[in-house]
Amino acid sequence: MKIGLHYELARPTLDTHLLFQETMAQVVLADQLGFDYVWSVEHHFLTGFSESTCPEVIHAAISQNTEQIRLGLGVIVLPYHNPVQVAERVATLDHLSNGRVDLGTGRSAPYELTGMGIDPSNSREMWDESINIIPQIWQSDWFEFKGKYWNIPSRQILPKPYQDPHPPMWVACLQSSSYDIAAQKGIGVLAMGASDPRVLQPYIAKYHDDVKNANPIGGFVNPQWGTQTFAVCAESDREGRDLAGNMLKQFFAPERPYTQGAKDIYDKLLQQWGGVPDDLKQEFIRGSERYGEDGKQGTGEEINFIGHAAWDTLGPDTLCERAVVIGGDPDGCIEALKKHEAAGADQILLVVQTDQVPHETVMKSIELLGKYVLPEFKD
């Protein structure tokens, strides 16, 4: 099982420039210690939550300061971008990094989509059209396409990726139907939101079975499942457990803009930010109501982390013992990670940097994970 780091750049009380410097120092250390991946998100308008608006630029800088760690774009939000530009920029990054790029894709949430002038109900179709175009661009000398959202006249689109035939492709998934789509298209799953591995196990097994019969959109099948969660490794088991549990509770607190699907949560968020016109507020709520997996109105019942409201009823020991989060001393972190390995995960994406954890604590956590935990999962 591969182990990577996942970054939101969520430090609202910190100077932005210092935030980027700290992130670079953390990733350089992770590279030196043998972490397999570093992933960065794409978010917009999430004040006080995420400064990661352009992950391909962040990874271009990381590529020049690291040697072996793979650079996961986790994710590029395809409805925001012309697929030609996505193909060009990812291919450029692939050359700068000597072939270390993985392309994760997604379609974001209503607040961000409406801020970009996109109807959330169109996001599924927009993502689907783009995800099929990009690997065709990479594998074609000249390319043309006429679709519902993108019309590309015959052009030679350069550069082509360094990796042959192209970087591995993934999709961010919050609902079970997305796992099926990933398997059909032959792309990897990035299961976002911390979950008990026992809950994910049947979905992982089904995905691994289904992807064997994929009709791949690209030049090969990427049959990998990645699970995102939160992690703090500390010399004190008590300190690591408490910090990891608190990270989860704060990250998905009702006032945070990442939690999706519930009108009351969005309502509290908009009230917190203040000064939001009533018409925009209603548009935002309507967007959340209709943000179903099929582009129609959805109840949100399928969202795997809809139960995060229940995390407040569970203590850090329970969260760590169930491996919902990875927290504690190195032995405790190994035990929790092995539960995800047993559930069938091919990779774990660890969120180690949030606004609750100081930079020095993050660096120590990466050091302990690299020295004592990673060796347990190397071939």
**What is the C-alpha to C-alpha distance for residues 34 and 27, in angstroms, rounded to an integer?**
11
| Closest by CA position to 70, among listed 43, 44, 35 | 35
- Helices 83-96 and 55-63 cross at an angle (nearest 10°) of 10
**What is the C-alpha to C-alpha distance for residues 38 and 144, in angstroms, rounded to an integer?**
33
C-beta separation of 190 from 349 below 8 A? yes
CATH 3.30.70.20 fits 2-377, yes or no: no
Distance of CA 377 to the CA centre of its chain: 21
Cα Rg of the chain, angstroms = 20
**What is the C-alpha to C-alpha distance for residues 112 and 127, in angstroms, rounded to an integer?**
15
Task: Give residue limits of the domains in the chain.
Answer: 2-377
Per-residue pLDDT of the chain (379 residues; tens, 9 = 90+): 999 999 999 765 668 899 999 999 999 999 999 999 999 999 998 776 788 999 999 999 999 999 999 999 999 999 999 999 999 999 999 999 999 999 999 998 888 898 899 999 999 999 999 999 999 999 999 999 999 999 999 999 999 999 999 999 999 998 888 999 999 999 999 998 778 899 899 999 999 999 999 999 999 999 999 999 999 999 999 999 999 998 887 765 545 444 433 344 344 444 444 444 454 444 444 434 333 333 333 333 333 333 444 556 678 999 999 999 999 999 999 999 999 999 999 999 999 998 889 999 999 999 999 999 999 998 7
Which residues does 40 contact at the CB level (< 8 Å), separation at least 6? 6, 7, 9, 52, 55, 58, 59, 72, 73, 74
